[in-house]
Amino acid sequence: MKYVDVEKIKKDFPILNVKPHGKKLIYLDNAATTQKPIEVIKAMDKYYEELNANVYRSPHYLSALSTQAYEEARERVKKFINAKREESIIFTRNTTESINFIAYTWGMKYINEGDEIILTIAEHHSNMLPWQMVAEAKKARLKYVHLDENFRLSMKDFKEKMSDKVKLVAVQHMSNVLGIINPVEEITHIAHKYGAKVLIDGAQSVPHMLIDVQKIGCDFFAFSGHKMLGPMGIGVLYIKEDLLSDVPPFLRGGEMIDEVFEDRATFAPPPLKFEAGTPNVKGACVLVSAIDYIEKIGLSNIHNHEGELLEYGLQKMKELDFVKLYGPKDAKERGGLISFNVEGVHPHDVATILDEEGIAVRSGHHCCLPLMRYLGVPATVRASFYLYNDFDDIDALVEGLKKVRKWFK
Amino acid sequence: MSDLNQLYSEVIMEHYENSPHEKELKDATHKERGYNPLCGDNITLYLKMNGDIIEDASFTGHGCAISQASTSMMIDLIKGKDKKEALRLVQKFIDMIHKKDVNLDELGDAQVLQGVSDFPARVKCALLAWKTLQEIL
């Protein structure tokens, strides 16, 4: 393992000592959620032991501390994804809420009858259902970009579907099923030529690669804290600076106002106008600890490490003639996850047998039913990697799959 | 016996791989889809009712070994029974899966699915057909 010191990293994750069914835990469900290092776990207590108070409101010592910590978190996230301005960083619960936020606000205001919204067939339901809602309410049309023969997004199909009617392109940065990394910079460039806005679902990319929202040029970018070593319940929505006044508030209530009368209100400047009610201050503060940890290891090291795991995993699994792999055959421009099926065995049976060996994988449709239909399978098994995985974990998975074959001959 | 031996016992695998009931029932009087959106198990249950008697039953669909075997075993059990008796047996099965003490002998092959109660993630797979039958009756 030349890019990261996995042995050392494993020691930072107490949960890896859990022994499922008496076996060593092999955690390969990182695309669903990642485990947390001790620094992150301690930061959760630290917030409530040393900082807790409501933000912005009260003129006392603790409130000043928590407000400062919360704003520092915003600043830190801004740097992490290289946004231009802090106001562009809005804290939400997760990617799903970030995307719904834009659908209910910008989408419901600016998408009209006859307009088109472009999605890809590989989208997660969370970047599909909000747009179905907008399309239905506003009589707009959804168009899906398909994949090429090597499971990559067909840029040819995308270009053919682009037109002046398209108001929004909503696309995942990395697929949680196929692992493909989409050329979001090129997609944004093309969409902008037609005057369309671009939303990127970064749930699967942010934990694993350097993100530069200015370089991508997108208008909206969404991601979750819990898939990048942070706690559940904190997510981020990035809104490009020139759209901050166009996007209406999502939720209305406390701490997002300028002036309130009996029949109307005016709103605070962004980001406050987008964060009604007491926010998840602890979540934002702990997210900083997760970013600290990731940056200590280095995102490019993490990315390269996962690349090595992927290459090794693809190689090993190709040797199993009873396993069918989904996704591009080469490891290039692919994130660290492998979706597969064992011939003649339902993914849930595969996952149950692997679980008995201490191996945690996801089985099912991965919240991508249209993609499953497109691939012609009811479900798949998915092994997804992170910085604490090593070749031994993949070897264990391969041995586990041989056991599956023994049970279902 | 290991837990997996209990989950994937010979009886279960036999029902999964060679169920005589896996077919469409042309003269069915009732047809109901059972679907588990979380894992994608998908069955269609066919019944041929003669008054209150279940004269014939079958299923089609796809899913894991547990959901498919459980469906097949259920059909074994309820064929020829009247509605009231079938519903009583369904409840018995549901109780067994939820670890309630019941007399298992009446459940026929389906009693081997008792092991599923130790696999919380798979309980829904085992119950799918039985809940679907409850819906129909």
Which of B2, B4, B13, B123 to mutate to test binding with chain A, by most A CBs within 10 Å of its CB?
B4
**DSSP-H helix ranges across A194-280:** 213-216
Write the CA distances from A127 to A173, A184, A336, integer angstroms.
Answer: 11, 15, 21
Q: What is the DSSP letter of A98?
A: H
Alpha-carbon gap, residue A250 to A376, rounded angstroms: 38
pLDDT tens figures, A316-343: 999 999 999 999 988 888 999 999 999 9
pLDDT tens figures, B3-56: 788 888 888 899 998 999 999 999 999 999 999 887 778 999 999 999 999 999
Give the confidence band of B2 by pLDDT, cuts at 50, 70, 90. Answer: low
- The answer to whether position A122 is within a domain reads yes
pLDDT tens figures, A201-253: 999 999 999 999 999 999 999 999 999 999 999 999 999 999 999 999 999 99
Closest CB to A346: pick one of B3, B4, B64: B64
Q: Do B64 and A348 touch (CB under 8 A)?
A: yes
- The answer to whether position A37 is within a domain reads no
Choose the catalytic residue: A218, A285, A367, A368.
A367
- Top-confidence residue, B6 or A268: A268
| C-beta pairs of A5-10 under 8 Å, 24+ apart in sequence | A6/A305, A6/A387, A6/A388, A6/A389, A6/A390, A9/A37, A9/A297, A9/A387, A9/A388, A10/A388
Alpha-carbon gap, residue A246 to A106, rounded angstroms: 7
Q: Are A305 and A387 in contact (CB under 8 A)?
A: yes
Q: Are A135 and A142 in contact (CB under 8 A)?
A: yes
Please check whether residue B42 touches A, CB under 8 A: yes
Give the confidence band of B115 by pLDDT, cuts at 50, 70, 90. Answer: confident
Q: Do A349 and B38 touch (CB under 8 A)?
A: no
| C-beta pairs of A316-323 under 8 Å, 24+ apart in sequence | A316/A394, A316/A395, A316/A398, A317/A398, A317/A401, A320/A398, A320/A401, A320/A402, A320/A405, A322/A401, A322/A405, A323/A401
Cα A363 to chain centroid, rounded: 18
- The answer to whether position A1 is within a domain reads no
- Top-confidence residue, B112 or A118: A118
Q: Are A348 and A17 in contact (CB under 8 A)?
A: no
Alpha-carbon gap, residue A243 to A7, rounded angstroms: 45
Amino acid type, A310: L
Specify the 3-state DSSP secondary structure of B51. Answer: coil
Closest chain B residue to A350, measured at CA: B64
Helix (H) or strand (E) holding B59: strand B53-62
Write the CA distances from B99 to B95, B96, B120, integer angstroms.
Answer: 6, 5, 11
Question: Residue A21: its chain B contacts at CB < 8 A?
Answer: 3
> What is the rounded average pLDDT of the residues A371-378?
92
Query: Interface of chain A against chain B, CB under 8 Å?
Result: 21, 345-349, 352-353, 355-356, 363-365, 372, 378-379, 407-408
The model carries a pTM of 0.93
> How close does chain A come to B113, measured CA to CA in Å?
14
- Domain match, A312 and A239 both: no
Q: What is the DSSP letter of A355?
A: H
Report, in angstroms and rounded to the nearest whole number, the Rg of chain B calculated over CA atoms. 14
CATH code of residue A341: 3.90.1150.10
Please check whether residue B69 touches A, CB under 8 A: no
Please check whether residue B80 touches A, CB under 8 A: no
- Domain match, A58 and A130 both: yes
Q: Do B40 and A407 touch (CB under 8 A)?
A: no
Q: Longest Cα pair distance anywhere in chain A, in angstroms?
A: 72
Closest CB to B64: pick one of A349, A365, A372: A349
3-state percent helix, strand, coil for chain B, nearest multiple of 5:
55, 20, 25
- Domain match, A327 and A359 both: yes
- The answer to whether position A390 is within a domain reads yes
> How close does chain A come to B2, measured CA to CA in Å?
10
Residue A23 neighbours by CB distance under 10 Å: 13
Closest chain A residue to B62, measured at CA: A378
- Domain match, A201 and A141 both: yes
pLDDT at A33 over 70: yes
Number of H-type helices and E-type strands within chain A: 14, 15
Alpha-carbon gap, residue A218 to A191, rounded angstroms: 10
- Domain match, A89 and A23 both: no
> What is the rounded average pLDDT of the residues A137-156?
97
Q: What are phi and psi of A304, to 5 degrees?
A: -65, -40
- Domain match, A135 and A233 both: yes
- The answer to whether position A334 is within a domain reads yes
> What is the rounded average pLDDT of the residues A278-290?
97
Q: How many domains does chain A have?
A: 2
CATH code of residue A161: 3.40.640.10
Alpha-carbon gap, residue A388 to A239, rounded angstroms: 32
Using a 10 angstrom Cβ sphere, with 0-12 exposed, 13-18 middle and 19 or more buried, the burial of residue A329 is exposed
- Domain match, A11 and A70 both: no
Closest CB to B122: pick one of A352, A365, A378: A352
Specify the 3-state DSSP secondary structure of A56. Answer: coil
Of the candidates A295, A317, A338, which is a domain's last residue? A295
Write the CA distances from A190 to A151, A158, A168, A174, A180, integer angstroms.
Answer: 21, 9, 12, 19, 19
Of the candidates A262, A295, A328, which is a domain's last residue? A295
- The answer to whether position A123 is within a domain reads yes
Closest CB to B40: pick one of A345, A353, A364: A364
- Domain match, A348 and A250 both: no
Alpha-carbon gap, residue A112 to A135, rounded angstroms: 8
Domains and CATH numbers, chain B: 3-136 (3.90.1010.10)
Q: Are B6 and B122 in contact (CB under 8 A)?
A: no
> How close does chain B come to A210, measured CA to CA in Å?
32
Least trusted range by pLDDT, from A115-119, A163-167, A298-302, B95-99: B95-99
- Domain match, A202 and A338 both: no
- The answer to whether position A149 is within a domain reads yes
The mean predicted confidence, pLDDT, of chain B is 90
Q: Do A363 and B42 touch (CB under 8 A)?
A: no
Give the confidence band of B1 by pLDDT, cuts at 50, 70, 90. Answer: very low
% residues pLDDT > 70 (chain A): 100
Q: Which domain holds residue A11?
A: 6-32+298-407
Q: What is the pLDDT of residue A4?
A: 95
- Domain match, A307 and A168 both: no
The yes-or-no answer on residue A367 being catalytic is: yes
3-state percent helix, strand, coil for chain A, nearest multiple of 5:
45, 20, 40
The mean predicted confidence, pLDDT, of chain A is 96
Please check whether residue B53 touches A, CB under 8 A: no
Q: What is the DSSP letter of B112?
A: G
Of the candidates A233, A266, A295, which is a domain's last residue? A295
A-B CB pairs within 8 A amount to 48
Taking phi over 0 as left and psi of -120 to 50 as alpha, with beta for the rest, B27 belongs to alpha
Q: Are strands B53-62 and B41-50 parallel, antiparallel or unpaired?
A: antiparallel
- Domain match, A345 and A211 both: no
- Domain match, A287 and A381 both: no
Six-digit token pair at A174?
A: 């990395």
pLDDT at A6 over 80: yes
